[in-house]
């Protein structure tokens, strides 16, 4: 056989004759070598640079890790037949090999070593180079090699692919030609297949690990022996423990109140708590918790713990509930020197952590200042929780502010619920209408403010808070103290820094400034409309007694805007009020006014939108948008016109 192979080779390289018994894959490889001008009398491997080798080793480190055990097993099988086991990357660079001692000197002579390049262009056809060129397994024996240097050798190689089918390397068995065995080819193919399968499993594990660690929540897996054997990087952060400590968590102790054996292993039920406190190594962990059984067949083989930090939950709740301060000091419209001085003071106190009491009549904009202080402070990225103390039923006050534990009273949520103070952690809590807080709740609030800790209803331990408190009132709290309806000590605890917002009747220069601001906002909202104030209306505004302050002014401007017929607002009556309880304004839906006027115009013009728009001094596009906005039924309009 070897003589015939040599004869075929001689005819091809020296006489360009092609014998009919040359295998097709060998012949095609010889043609490729000839085209690439490979020297058939040579064939030593070329070592790549250290940098190129390092890059390849790093790129294919996972392949090397997977292939190495398989290479060692194969070597044990073939070592008595003088074979070396070789692994290359997709370019043909040797990235790992196990050399048979009998062949060690030959490896050196041929440069068949780590970091050598064994593609067809470099060393002619060989099992490695041809396997990579054709992307399929091949065995090359003796003089089937294009380069004469290799005629004493035989090699069998098979390609290795990743899960996407991409070529990532080659498994090769190389030895002396006289030791050629038919089963060597099969070993190479089955070994490459085994490496591919193991590599795919490794890819899956890495994908799962990446997914595992990319989840913002803590994930922890327990086996059937109640031992933790896997967790993501969030768990040590949430539990404030090292990795070893996580593995040593006593599940039965930490989760003793959860009946894991009964619920998870026996009944295969999911356990879920929206708000729970775990105690691990004397550390209190506030979190939500879900424990789900891992079921294989009919057996529970473990459980997955999904843990989310309470602060993360509260941050999301605050976002969803709109607990955010939208106003800044730039939002305050004023040309008053009194107000500018007040803003200057408020900006200074924003940088502190002191409690603030904002006083002022109803409608002066106390929450506007509270939000501005929050947004100017270092807590600006935290939640802003606003509570209207006059809107909370007396019996719910304590649970609303301080929260409750599971089962603390009838109707309490499973797992408990945090109060507004906990939701405000890291931010600001705004207690509006603080004078309305029930007297029996006041000492509890005082204690929270003094200790910066809370105990939930039904709870047994204190929870640390990090909250800045801003309170507001339109009452005279000193009078309330004298009347016995407000505690003096709570007043002084809240009134560390005091801001008193003057009513607009004491800063008349702001009346027209604010009125024009509200008018401009309405013009923006109503697109093509561009209404202005007439002189008589401006005069009425400046002479009016603004008992309701900015809120009353805003309502008046809105009403005047929608009630006025033309583009100039003039003939509007401002009713005098002894107190700001204008039933007409508070019950008047200004949008309904606009809707009624559109319906009336459509009715008069026999449902002709263009004519109705002309009568209303708005564009056709605007009236169609308003018709859609107010869901105006044109069929009914037509009946009214008949």
Question: Helix axis angle, 61-78 relative to 182-214, nearest 10°?
Answer: 150
Q: What local confidence, expressed as pLDDT, does residue 403 receive?
A: 87
Domain end (from 579, 598, 629): 579
29 shares its domain with 100: yes
In a domain, 51, yes or no: yes
Average pLDDT in the chain: 87
**In this model, does residue 9 exceed pLDDT 50?**
yes
The answer to whether the CB of 5 falls within 8 A of the CB of 144 is yes
Strand partners, 357: 471, 498
223 shares its domain with 361: no
Query: For residue 593, what are the domain limits?
Result: 589-642
Q: How far is CA 161 from CA 63, 132, 177, 205, in A?
A: 10, 11, 28, 17
Q: What local confidence, expressed as pLDDT, does residue 408 receive?
A: 63
Q: What local confidence, expressed as pLDDT, does residue 273 receive?
A: 82
183 shares its domain with 199: yes
Rounded to the nearest 5°, which phi and psi values hold at 82? Answer: 60, 55
> How do residues 157-199 score in pLDDT, each as one tens digit?
999 999 889 999 999 999 998 888 878 999 999 999 999 999 9
46 shares its domain with 185: yes
Mean pLDDT over 227-244 rounds to 89
Supply the CATH number for residue 563's domain: 1.10.8.60
> How do residues 508-535 score in pLDDT, each as one tens digit?
999 999 999 999 999 998 877 889 999 9
**In this model, does residue 40 exceed pLDDT 60?**
yes
Distance of CA 64 to the CA centre of its chain: 35
Which helix or strand (DSSP H or E) is residue 139 part of? strand 138-141
Q: What local confidence, expressed as pLDDT, does residue 589 receive?
A: 57
Burial 166-182 (b: 16+ CB within 10 A, else e): eebbbbbbbbbbeebbe
Strand partners, 159: 170
Supply the CATH number for residue 449's domain: 3.40.50.300
81 shares its domain with 198: yes
Of 202-211, 303-312, 455-464, the range with the lowest mean pLDDT is: 202-211
Mean pLDDT over 22-33 rounds to 95
- Which of 48-57, 256-265, 310-319, 618-627 has the highest average model confidence (pLDDT)? 48-57
509 shares its domain with 498: no
Domain end (from 161, 183, 208): 208
Supply the CATH number for residue 597's domain: 1.10.10
Q: What does the angle CA 446 – CA 447 – CA 452 come to, to the nearest 5 degrees?
A: 105
Which helix or strand (DSSP H or E) is residue 194 part of? helix 182-214
58 shares its domain with 73: yes
91 shares its domain with 182: yes
Q: What local confidence, expressed as pLDDT, does residue 227 receive?
A: 92
In a domain, 200, yes or no: yes
Q: What local confidence, expressed as pLDDT, does residue 115 receive?
A: 95
Mean pLDDT over 37-49 rounds to 91
Which helix or strand (DSSP H or E) is residue 159 part of? strand 153-161
69 shares its domain with 125: yes
% of residues, the chain, pLDDT over 90 = 54
Q: What local confidence, expressed as pLDDT, does residue 577 receive?
A: 47
- Per DSSP (E only), the strands in 36-115 are 46-47, 83-89, 94-98
Q: How far apart are CA 374 and CA 429, in angstroms?
A: 9
The answer to whether the CB of 516 falls within 8 A of the CB of 329 is no
**Which single residue is written with the structure tokens 């700001």?**
580
% of residues, the chain, pLDDT over 70 = 93
24 shares its domain with 140: yes
Long-range contacts (CB closer than 8 Å, 24 or more residues apart) made by 628-632: 630/591, 630/594, 630/595, 630/598, 632/595, 632/598, 632/599, 632/602
Q: How far is CA 66 from CA 203, 231, 584, in A?
A: 11, 23, 81
Q: What local confidence, expressed as pLDDT, does residue 514 receive?
A: 95
**In this model, does residue 545 exceed pLDDT 80?**
yes
Q: What local confidence, expressed as pLDDT, does residue 448 receive?
A: 92
Q: What does the angle CA 42 – CA 45 – CA 49 come to, to the nearest 5 degrees?
A: 140
Q: What local confidence, expressed as pLDDT, does residue 581 receive?
A: 40
Burial 563-590 (b: 16+ CB within 10 A, else e): bbeeeebbebebeeeeebebeebeebeb
Domain end (from 300, 315, 330): 315
In a domain, 584, yes or no: no
Supply the CATH number for residue 48's domain: 3.30.450.40
Supply the CATH number for residue 300's domain: 3.30.450.20
* pTM higher than 0.75: no
> How do residues 44-102 score in pLDDT, each as one tens digit?
888 999 999 999 999 999 999 999 999 999 999 888 888 999 999 999 999 999 999 88
> How do residues 134-147 score in pLDDT, each as one tens digit?
999 999 999 999 99
631 shares its domain with 494: no
- Tell me whether residue 362 is exposed, middle or buried, using C-beta atoms within 10 angstroms of its C-beta: 0 to 12, 13 to 18, 19 or more: middle
**In this model, does residue 320 exceed pLDDT 60?**
no
Q: Where are the alpha helices (DSSP H) in 495-548?
A: 509-525, 535-543
Q: For residue 438, which of 398, 402, 394, 472 has the smallest C-alpha distance?
A: 394
What pLDDT band is residue 584 in, cutting at 50, 70 and 90?
Answer: very low
In a domain, 40, yes or no: yes
Tokens of 602: 């459509």
**In this model, does residue 642 exceed pLDDT 80?**
no
Residue 326, phi-psi category: left (phi > 0), alpha (psi -120 to 50), beta (remainder): alpha
Number of structural domains in the chain: 5
69 shares its domain with 195: yes
Q: What percent of the residues of the chain are helix, what percent strand, and what percent coil, each to the nearest 5?
A: 50, 20, 30
């Amino acid at each position: 056989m070897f003589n015939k192979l040599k004869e075929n080779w001689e005819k091809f390289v020296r006489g360009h004759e092609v014998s009919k018994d040359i295998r097709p894959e060998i012949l095609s490889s010889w043609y490729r070598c000839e085209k690439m001008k490979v020297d058939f009398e040579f064939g030593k491997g070329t070592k790549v640079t250290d940098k190129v080798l390092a890059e390849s080793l790093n790129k294919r480190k996972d392949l090397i890790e997977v292939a190495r055990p398989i290479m060692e097993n194969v070597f044990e099988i073939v070592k008595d037949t003088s074979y070396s086991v070789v692994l290359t990357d997709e370019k043909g660079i040797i990235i790992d090999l196990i050399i048979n001692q009998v062949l060690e000197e030959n490896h050196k002579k041929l440069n068949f070593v780590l970091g050598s390049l064994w593609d067809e262009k470099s060393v002619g056809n060989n099992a490695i180079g041809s396997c990579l060129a054709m992307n399929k397994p091949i065995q090359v024996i003796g003089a089937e090699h294009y380069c004469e240097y290799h005629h004493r050798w035989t090699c069998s190689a098979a390609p290795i692919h990743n899960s996407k089918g991409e070529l990532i390397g080659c498994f090769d068995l190389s030895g002396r030609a006289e030791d050629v065995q038919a089963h060597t080819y099969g070993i190479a193919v089955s070994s490459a297949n085994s490496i591919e399968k193991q590599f795919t499993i490794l890819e899956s594990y890495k994908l799962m690990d990446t997914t595992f660690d990319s989840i913002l929540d803590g994930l922890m897996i327990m086996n059937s022996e109640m031992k933790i054997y896997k967790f993501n990087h969030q768990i040590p952060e949430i539990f404030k423990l090292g990795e070893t400590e996580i593995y040593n968590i006593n599940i039965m102790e930490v989760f003793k109140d959860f009946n894991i054996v009964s619920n998870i292993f026996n009944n295969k039920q999911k356990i879920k708590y929206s708000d729970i406190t775990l105690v691990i190594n004397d550390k209190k962990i506030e979190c939500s918790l879900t424990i789900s059984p891992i079921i294989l067949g009919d057996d529970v083989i473990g459980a997955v713990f999904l843990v989310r930090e309470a602060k993360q939950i509260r941050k999301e709740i605050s976002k969803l509930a709109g607990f955010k301060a939208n106003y800044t000091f730039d939002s305050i419209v004023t040309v008053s020197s009194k107000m500018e001085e007040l803003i200057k003071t408020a900006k200074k106190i924003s940088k502190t952590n002191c409690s603030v009491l904002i006083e002022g009549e109803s409608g002066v904009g106390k929450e506007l200042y509270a939000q501005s202080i929050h947004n100017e402070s270092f807590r600006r990225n935290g939640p802003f929780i606003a509570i209207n103390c006059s809107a909370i039923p007396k019996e719910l006050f304590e649970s609303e502010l301080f929260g409750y534990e599971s089962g603390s009273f009838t109707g309490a949520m499973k797992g408990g619920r945090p109060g507004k103070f906990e939701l405000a952690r890291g931010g600001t809590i705004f207690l509006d209408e603080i004078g309305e807080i029930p007297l029996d709740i006041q000492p509890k609030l005082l204690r929270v403010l003094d200790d910066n800790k809370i105990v939930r209803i039904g709870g047994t331990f204190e929870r640390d808070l990090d909250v800045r408190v801003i309170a507001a009132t339109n009452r005279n709290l000193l009078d309330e103290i004298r009347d016995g309806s407000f505690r003096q000590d709570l007043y002084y605890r809240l009134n560390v820094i005091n801001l008193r917002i003057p009513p607009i009747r004491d800063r008349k220069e702001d009346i027209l400034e604010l009125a024009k601001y509200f008018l401009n906002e309405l013009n923006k909202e109503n697109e093509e409309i561009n209404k202005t104030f007439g002189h008589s209306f401006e005069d009425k505004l400046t002479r009016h007694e603004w008992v309701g302050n900015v809120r009353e002014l805003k309502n008046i401007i809105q009403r005047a805007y929608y009630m006025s017929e033309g583009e100039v607002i003039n003939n509007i009556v401002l009713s005098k009020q002894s107190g700001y309880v204008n039933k007409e304004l508070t019950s008047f839906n200004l949008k309904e006014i606009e809707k009624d006027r559109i319906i009336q115009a459509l009715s008069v013009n026999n449902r002709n939108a263009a004519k109705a728009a002309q009568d209303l001094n708005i564009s056709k596009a605007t009236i169609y948008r308003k018709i859609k906005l107010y869901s105006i039924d044109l069929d009914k309009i037509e009946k009214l016109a008949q």
